[in-house]
Amino acid sequence: SAQKETLGFQTEVKQLLKLMIHSLYSNKEIFLRELISNASDAADKLRFEGLAKPELFENDPELKIRIAFDKDARTVTIADNGIGMSRDEVVSHIGTIAKSGTKSFFEQLSGDEKKDAHLIGQFGVGFYSAFIVADKVTLTTRRAGEAEAVRWESQGEGEYTLESVEKAERGTEIVLHLKEGEDELLNDWKLKGIVRKYSDHISIPIEMKKGSGYGEDGEVVVSDELEAVNSASALWTRSKSDITEEQYQEFYKHVAHDFTDPLAWSHARVEGRQEYTELLYIPSRAPFDLYDRERKQGVKLYVRRVFIMEDTEKLMPHYLRFVRGVIDSNDLPLNVSREILQESKDIDAIRAGCVKKVLGLLEDLSSNQPEKYEAFWKEFGQVLKEGVGEDHANKERIAKLLRFVSTTSEGVEPTVSLADYIGRMKEGQDKIYFITADTLAAAKNSPHLEVFKKKGVEVLLLVDRVDEWVTGSLFEFDGKALQSVAKGALDLGALEDEADKEAQKQVEEASKPVVEKVQKALGEQVKEVRATARLTESPACLVAGEHDMSAHLERMLKAAGQ
Ligand code: ADP
Ligand code: MG
């Protein structure tokens, strides 16, 4: 064979490998799920590229995955006839981490194995999980339609070798040379069990040699005949009653490249003007790149079982960018491209339907599983809030899902909904009062709250960056106006009684000379100086004009250099 090259792993890969092997060891079986998941993705990619270039199938159109083991050589082999990789692809995909958020991921690692295992799970270890059980991995691959094959080999310790080889079949073959002590994997029953447990949902057959009886040692004797170990039908096409909770969860890990179980999901076949199946998941944790414009993951679009693309823009609105899963259309053309997707009215209809499903799922959580909803809100609340400004059609529904901290909250967790607030409104109160500030402490100590405290009126404390956008787009809820307590003359309406009015009159009269002096001293710096009977502790406070920017927003814009 041609000359062997030795290359070094990216520093992060070395670090990741070391950590992963330690922290995921107790869950080591997942290496098989990861390698099968990659093989399945490779089949999806070939099917898609094959739409335009059928010659890529090379007279071998039955896509499948094969798993075998060799007791004497102490190896486990996972092979697929998917798209394969060119030499450049091997170098860039296996040996480097091109993921966005890599840096912040490494910064978050604590050295505490339990905590780090969680983080690593979120980050996704994929291919490298092979090194949990193997001390040498040999990957041989030939990209569909190309002549040259390449062999990558590594002991997972900082470098790998690359060489050109011959490979008749298209696709990728991965040989795991097992570590000392991993011999239990050299067992037909054990491997088939792992495949069924983690990879049953894979839509192409995962084949292994068929058992033909038991030997004298009690072990399965295999024949040369192959059988599919999994159900080999796309999970979302099966009926809900045939899918177990675990299967839904494992499928999520495959589509989302996540290690943690999802929080909730919605699975439905939709009929009508557009026929499609959706299986959409809410993750239990926010991904690293939630705020990264370059993020690559989103919802996968299939057309009649053929994977078309993973989309981050068109299938889900920006404020639901955390949603993962599959949409499989029966009506779209197979040659749908990104450009067509942008323009398509059919896609608009599918998207609108899927948004309703997701909002419905969240509503269901919020009313029936409040703890889960709280967990959701913690991870994704800030993002969902963007929807109030972004999605006019669903503004009301989103507003119902919002949660805030208020002056009645015991702790710092946002648990107050607008409906809760309205339910607690005082006699004569007709507005939803809120205050915006940089921190909870600043909000709670604001002099603007004094009169509300005195009257026992609840005020929402809005301290998130996105809240300015929320209050700038949501003017009322359930017929009640949202009113900043820091703006304008603040008409308290029926909350104010005769005594209040009398007190105000007196203060105004008594303070006339002072007010005039202060007005003179401040001159152009203020619009107006007013006396008020509402402050109970503070001598003075700043108020924004009814139609001006709030002081908080002004500070935020200044900080942003605007
Ligand atoms: P992920 O699957 O999340 O992208 P992995 O570490 O599992 O991360 O895989 C890295 C990349 O290596 C894949 O995205 C793919 O491009 C490539 N790859 C891995 N396994 C295969 C395979 N069997 N066939 C083709 N490409 C593969
Ligand atoms: Mg993978």
Q: What is the pLDDT of residues 406-422, one digit of tens each?
A: 999 988 999 999 999 99
Q: Smallest Cα–Cα separation from 361: which of 325, 328, 389, 404?
A: 325
Ligand 1 surroundings by CB, under 6 angstroms: 34, 38-39, 42, 80, 82-85, 93-94, 124, 126-127, 172, 257
Strand partners, 339: none
Per-residue confidence (pLDDT) for residue 239, from 0 to 100: 95
Average pLDDT value for residue range 221-228 = 89
Average pLDDT value for residue range 171-182 = 97
Residue 199 pLDDT greater than 90, yes or no: yes
Q: Smallest Cα–Cα separation from 548: which of 526, 530, 529?
A: 526
Tokens of 441: 């402490």
pLDDT band for position 282 (cuts 50, 70, 90): very high
Q: Whose CA is nearest to atom 8 of ligand 1?
A: 126
Per-residue confidence (pLDDT) for residue 529, from 0 to 100: 80
Kindly give the pairing relationship between strand 171-178 and strand 206-214: unpaired
- Which atom of ligand 1 is nearest the CA belonging to 78? 23
Per-residue confidence (pLDDT) for residue 488, from 0 to 100: 61
Per-residue confidence (pLDDT) for residue 101, from 0 to 100: 62
More confident residue, 53 or 560: 53
Per-residue confidence (pLDDT) for residue 362, from 0 to 100: 98
Query: Which H or E element spans position 227?
Result: strand 220-228
More confident residue, 501 or 152: 152
Tell me, in angstroms, the distance from the centre of ligand 1 to residue 540's CA.
63
- Please provide residue 226's backbone torsions phi and psi, each rounded to the nearest 5 degrees: -100, 150
Going 519 to 520 to 522 to 525, the CA torsion angle's sign is positive
Tell me, in angstroms, the distance from the centre of ligand 1 to residue 314's CA.
24
Residue 336 pLDDT greater than 60, yes or no: yes
pLDDT band for position 341 (cuts 50, 70, 90): confident
Tokens of 2: 């041609």
Residue 546 pLDDT greater than 70, yes or no: no
Q: Smallest Cα–Cα separation from 123: which of 106, 140, 144, 145?
A: 106
More confident residue, 96 or 79: 79
pLDDT band for position 100 (cuts 50, 70, 90): low
Tokens of 73: 């050589």
Strand partners, 209: 226
Per-residue confidence (pLDDT) for residue 520, from 0 to 100: 84
- 320/341 Cα distance (integer angstroms): 18
pLDDT band for position 317 (cuts 50, 70, 90): very high
CB atoms inside a 10 Å sphere around CB 67: 22
Q: Whose CA is nearest to atom 17 of ligand 1?
A: 93
Tokens of 475: 């003017």
- 89/94 Cα distance (integer angstroms): 8
Pocket test for ligand 1, best of 13, 20, 31, 38 (most atoms within 8 A of CB): 38
- Which atom of ligand 1 is nearest the CA belonging to 257? 3
Q: What is the pLDDT of residues 133-148, one digit of tens each?
A: 999 999 999 999 999 9
Query: Which H or E element spans position 225?
Result: strand 220-228
Tell me, in angstroms, the distance from the centre of ligand 1 to residue 348's CA.
31
DSSP string, 37-69: HHHHHHHHHHHHHHHH-GGGGTT-----EEEEE
Residue 386 pLDDT greater than 80, yes or no: yes
- 535/436 Cα distance (integer angstroms): 18
| Burial state string for 419-438 with b = 16 or more CB within 10 A and e = fewer than 16 | eebeeebeeebebbbbbbbe
Q: Whose CA is nearest to atom 10 of ligand 1?
A: 93
DSSP secondary structure letter of residue 377: H
CB atoms inside a 10 Å sphere around CB 247: 18
Per-residue confidence (pLDDT) for residue 512, from 0 to 100: 82
Per-residue confidence (pLDDT) for residue 78, from 0 to 100: 98
Pocket test for ligand 1, best of 90, 96, 127 (most atoms within 8 A of CB): 127
pTM for this prediction: 0.83
Residue 1 pLDDT greater than 60, yes or no: no
Average pLDDT value for residue range 451-471 = 91
Q: What is the pLDDT of residues 256-265, one digit of tens each?
A: 988 889 999 9
Average pLDDT over the chain reads 88
Residue 503: CA atoms inside 13 Å, Cβ hemisphere, count? 11
Kindly give the pairing relationship between strand 431-436 and strand 460-462: parallel
Tokens of 32: 């098989």
